[in-house]
Structure 1
Amino acid sequence: MKLLSKKSIVLIISSFTAVLILFLFLFPLRTALVFHVENTEEIQAFLPIEEEDTFQLIFTHSIHLTDVVEKYRVMDDLQIVQTEIVYEEFGIGMPSNAGEGEEFVYEDGKYHIKNMSNVFPSLNIRNGKTVSKNRLAWGNDGEKMIWFNEYFIPGDWYKVKVEKLTLWQYLKGMKIHE
């Protein structure tokens, strides 16, 4: 049996290492809620998230200045489903009743529209400029939370999608953490 030469061994190891590095840096591995700058592929920030995880977008309504909570869940196909909206006052942009299959309730001084099933491939979100109190919450019923201004420029808008990130994107991006 003929042994491989040193050159052959080095070539095999180098080739294997190159393929491994390419795989790790170019193959999507980690699911995240990704905030793209406007309508580009540039990633401003991302939140590691899994299928079936939930998150909330909380903003202060610009007219009645009370919080509005929009609750979402990540679907198996990486789309986003809105499951509930919670608000304190009726006004411009606020629903006045539930749609078909939804439930409208008043609990603890707030209006809830529950059992929503609005599915989105992405969301366009503007970080408030005049009233900039937007927040992102996640975990068990929103136990973890950050203020948008910690990661995003007031007045800018972002396209939010659930995507699989490569290790390279994950390492070079701004990871959202509490």
Structure 2
Amino acid sequence: MGKQKKLAWLAAVCCACMVTAACMIPYMPAVVFKKEDSDDVMAFLPLQKEKTFDIIYTHSIHKTKVAETYVWENGVIRQTALVYHDPAVGMPANAEQGEKLIITDGTYTLSNMKRTFPYIDMRIGRVRANHRLKYKGKEYELKRYIPPGSWTRMSVQKINVLQQLKGVEING
């Protein structure tokens, strides 16, 4: 093999290595749903400037709508609000220190929450939960992107090109 062919081959290998490395660099912030507690991305929703999103579902016992509001900041998910209709099983009956609870026409709104989570485990409902992700005014039914009954770990993180290729992008 001549000197020019060796150099061309070496340049091609170097380019391939650089492209592969670039595909592994996390760059895009997204709400990410991973399979159980693995690194397998099932679905993701890219975040733009707006870092606030809601998880909306029907409570399995009360059969009423629940809306949880989150914001991504400093590498963690912070819950900022919770709106619900029944303070029974699984729902707070009052506000914790620094939080504010307002009850209007049977709707409980808990605000000024500062509860932080590195991730949130959830099971996508099969029958009535109808988990939805709301971002920038649009709602996305999670069962369209993640099999109902699946245990998933929701987090907000920067993902790379390879993770995007493995998961399903949540979009309208």
Q: Same fold (TM over 0.5)?
A: yes
The answer for unaligned runs of 5 or more in structure 1 is none
Q: Which of 8, 12, 15 is the equivalent residue of 1:14?
A: 12
- Normalised by the size of structure 2, how large is the TM-score? 0.88
Question: Which residue is 1:161 aligned to?
Answer: 155
2: distance between equivalents of 1:8 and 1:38? 46
How many corresponding residue pairs? 170
Q: 1:172 to 1:40 in 2, by over 3 A?
A: closer
Post-superposition, which runs of at least 4 consecutive aligned residues in structure 1 deviate over 3 A?
Answer: 5-9
Superposition map of 1:17-166 within 5 A: 17-50=15-48, 53-76=51-74, 78-107=75-104, 109-139=106-136, 143-166=137-160
| SS of 2:43 mapped into structure 1 | strand
TM-score by length of 1: 0.86
The 2-side partners of 1:166 and 1:83 are apart by: 28
Larger displacement relative to structure 2 (121-130 or 163-172): 163-172
Give the percent of matched residue pairs that are identical in Structure 1 and Structure 2: 35
| Structure 2 unpaired stretches of 5+ | none
Alpha-carbon RMSD: 2.0
Is contact 1:79-1:119 (8 Å) kept?
Answer: yes
Report the Cα distance in structure 2 between the residues aligned to 1:108 and 1:176, rounded to whole angstroms. 34
